[in-house]
Amino acid sequence: MPQTNKHSNEERTVRCPVEGCDYEGLARSLHLHVRQSSGDGHGPHGDIPEQIDLSSAETVGTQRVEMDYPENRNVENVARQCPFCGMVFNGKHGVMIHIGQTEGKKNHPDDATDQVDADDLPIVELDEDENIVNVVEGDAKMPSTKRREEQEDEEDRIKRYISRLRDEGKDKEADIAEQELLG
């Protein structure tokens, strides 16, 4: 069994924003409460109606919470992209949490978690503004990466052609090709 560290803190408790519901619990459990409840304003089981704003739930107090955290966690510190919406998250775990929370909404199919293998999520490179500039690992490539690779392939082909002309002693043709094709 892995070594753990006990941690405790006071967490905010809230009241369910659905009129007539008397549920009070940890703020982090409100999403699950509404999804698992049905009827009486909660909507169908497994869904959160658009008119319910969980972020503005009334705070009613705090509750002491104790957690056991493993001393050593295998946490991935790379940016990975959601295959459905393109949003970027920290590691496989971050993307999978996102997919589980948005299943059936915002371009995420109802069975999104079944469709995705966390090992296949693309690793992406971000710029200083957190825009994706490159797909580092994965089958998908950003359009800008594809264009750059195609341009590099074309330039290499032209250089090989010019080199072949020079090897054949056709320096004048090589100079013209270089000027016209490479600038």
pLDDT band at residue 143, thresholds of 50, 70 and 90?
very low
> What is the pLDDT at residue 2?
60
Q: Which residue do the tokens 């929370």 mark?
A: 101
Query: Quick count: other Cβ atoms within 10 Å of Cβ 119?
Result: 6
Q: Please, which pLDDT band fits residue 4 given cuts at 50, 70 and 90? A: low
What's this model's pTM, rounded to 2 decimal places? 0.42
pLDDT in tens, 84-110: 888 888 888 888 888 888 888 878 888
Quick one: pLDDT at residue 172?
94
Using pLDDT thresholds of 50, 70 and 90, give the confidence band for residue 1: low
SS3 43: coil
What is residue 66's predicted lDDT score, i.e. its pLDDT? Answer: 83
The DSSP secondary structure of 78-135, one letter per residue, reads: SEEE-TTT--EEEHHHHHHHHHHHHTTSTT--TTHHHH--GGGSPEEEE-TTS-EEEE
Q: Exposed, middle or buried: residue 81 (CB in 10 Å: 0-12, 13-18, 19+)?
A: buried
> In this structure, are residues 34 and 42 in contact, taking their beta carbons and an 8 Å threshold?
yes
Lowest mean pLDDT segment, chosen from 4-8, 40-44, 176-180: 4-8
**Lowest-pLDDT choice from 40-44, 125-129, 141-145:** 141-145
> What is the per-residue pLDDT across 43-84, written as a single tens digit (0 to 9) for each?
888 788 888 888 889 999 999 988 776 666 666 778 888 888
Residue carrying the six token digits 């008119």: 51
Query: What phi and psi, each to the nearest 5 degrees, are found at residue 9?
Result: -160, 170
Q: Which DSSP category does 29 fall into?
A: G
Categorize the per-residue pLDDT at 14 as very low, low, confident or very high, splitting at 50, 70 and 90: very high
Query: Can you give the pLDDT at residue 25?
Result: 92
What is the number of helices (H) and of strands (E) in the chain? 5, 7
Q: Are 95 and 118 in contact (CB under 8 A)?
A: yes
